[in-house]
Amino acid sequence: MSGALDARLALTLGSFRLDAELRAPGTGVTAVVGPSGSGKSTLLRCLAGLEPRALGRIRFGDETWLDAARGVCVPAHRRGAAVVFQDAAPFAHLSVRGNLEYGLRRCPVARRQLALDDVTGWLRIAPLLDRRPGGLSGGERQRVAIARALLAGPRLLLLDEPLASLDSPARAEILELLRALFARTPMPVLYVTHARSEAVHLADHVVVMEAGRVRASGPLREIMLRADAPFGEPGELGCVVEAEVIAFDERDGITELRFSGGRLYVPGRLRLGERRRIEILARDISLSLDAPHRTSILNVLPARVEAVYDAESLQPVVRVDLGGTELLARVSRRSLRLLELREGARVFVQVKAVAVIP
């Protein structure tokens, strides 16, 4: 029932112009990232059918939602694309239960797969069912809105900065809930955010937007390696690797993980056999031509230089290949010159810090 998105959209709102070509796979989470004002939310509103003046075309699976040239425009309530907005206000005249039932009652029978009890359990809102939305905290309101959207049986779930107006403890909690939720639900998810960390946590695919256009799009790992289309703050450039926990050293409290480029050692205990996302920032990697001996750095891996970006800037970025896994390293222009780092050079990667994504 779910489908891939294929859209070509144009919309002018005042001085802003959206002119975006978007492709998103029919499963998993696609994060739409970019600075504020880059048109992420407008793109999402067009997909949901909330911008009646949008031009272009939208195909979802084998359906046409919009084909402006032929005068086709499926209204929002027939698209089956539920939206969770940034300041998702539950309906004030209904209780929390009433809000959830609002979605459930309008869910076509054929798509009724989730039970109210399951969803309230996953999102930890069962105790709130008889409350009025007016007395809920920001995080609670957001969880109610997410549950309401899920219960409407959407074929596409659209989230527009759902965590942006929350404080950081609430954000961390919901982020974790969302990750578990997206793993359970079959429909594709489009997740708009300006926070790189949310995309790194949740996304399988990434669409990078800038000034109303799609600058890059593809699998998360690939996009993170694109130093020419960075998303998030410049200091946040980095990569993620998928790794499996294979051992734990009791004496030093160190966990050993295996990934396609070798082994990683991280302080702390993780569950054996678990697969985790590990984020390694470009500024936390240093390169050396010789294997460092007697170093305090735990993770030293042999690699080969693949490419150098921004060689003329003060802090160029070097892409290295660890035998199947690529990483980005930020070095100084002087190091680049003294070490003669060029494509094909053999180096040792020293990873100063890694972040295990919860």
Partner 1 sequence: MNGDVAALLLTLRLAAISTGLLLLFATPLAWWVARTQSRWKAPIEAAVALPLVLPPTVLGFYLLLALGPQGPVGSLWGALGGGPLVFSFSGLVVGSVIYSLPFVVQPIQAGFEQLGRAPLEAAATLGAGPVDRFFSVALPQTLRHFLAGAVLGFAHTLGEFGVVLMIGGNIPSRTRVVSIAIYDHVETLDYGAAHQLAGILLAISFAVLLLVFATNRRWRGTPVT
Interface residues toward partner 1, by CB under 8 A: 48-50, 75-83, 85, 87-89, 91-93, 102-103, 106-108, 132, 134, 145, 148-149, 152, 154, 158
Give the nearest distance from C-beta 83 to partner 1 in angstroms. Answer: 4
Give the nearest distance from C-beta 79 to partner 1 in angstroms. Answer: 8
Give the nearest distance from C-beta 317 to partner 1 in angstroms. Answer: 40
Give the nearest distance from C-beta 213 to partner 1 in angstroms. Answer: 25
Give the nearest distance from C-beta 55 to partner 1 in angstroms. Answer: 18
Q: Compute CA distances 260 → 179, 186, 299, 319, 327, whole Å.
A: 23, 28, 14, 16, 12
* Nearest CB to partner 1, comparing residues 160 and 279: 160
Give the nearest distance from C-beta 82 to partner 1 in angstroms. Answer: 5
Of residues 134, 146, 144, the one with CA closest to residue 97: 144
Of residues 91, 99, 83, the one with CA closest to residue 42: 83
Give the nearest distance from C-beta 118 to partner 1 in angstroms. Answer: 18
Give the nearest distance from C-beta 302 to partner 1 in angstroms. Answer: 51
Cα(242)–Cα(259) distance, integer angstroms: 6
* Nearest CB to partner 1, comparing residues 162 and 262: 162
* Nearest CB to partner 1, comparing residues 82 and 243: 82
Cα(28)–Cα(189) distance, integer angstroms: 6
Please check whether residue 144 is in contact with residue 119, taking contact to mean a CB–CB distance below 8 angstroms: no
* Nearest CB to partner 1, comparing residues 158 and 287: 158
* Nearest CB to partner 1, comparing residues 160 and 198: 160
Cα(83)–Cα(97) distance, integer angstroms: 19
Angle, helix 138-151 to helix 168-184, in steps of 10 degrees: 20
* Nearest CB to partner 1, comparing residues 53 and 342: 53
* Nearest CB to partner 1, comparing residues 85 and 259: 85
* Nearest CB to partner 1, comparing residues 87 and 252: 87
Give the nearest distance from C-beta 286 to partner 1 in angstroms. Answer: 48
Of residues 170, 184, 173, 159, the one with CA closest to residue 33: 159
* Nearest CB to partner 1, comparing residues 186 and 267: 186
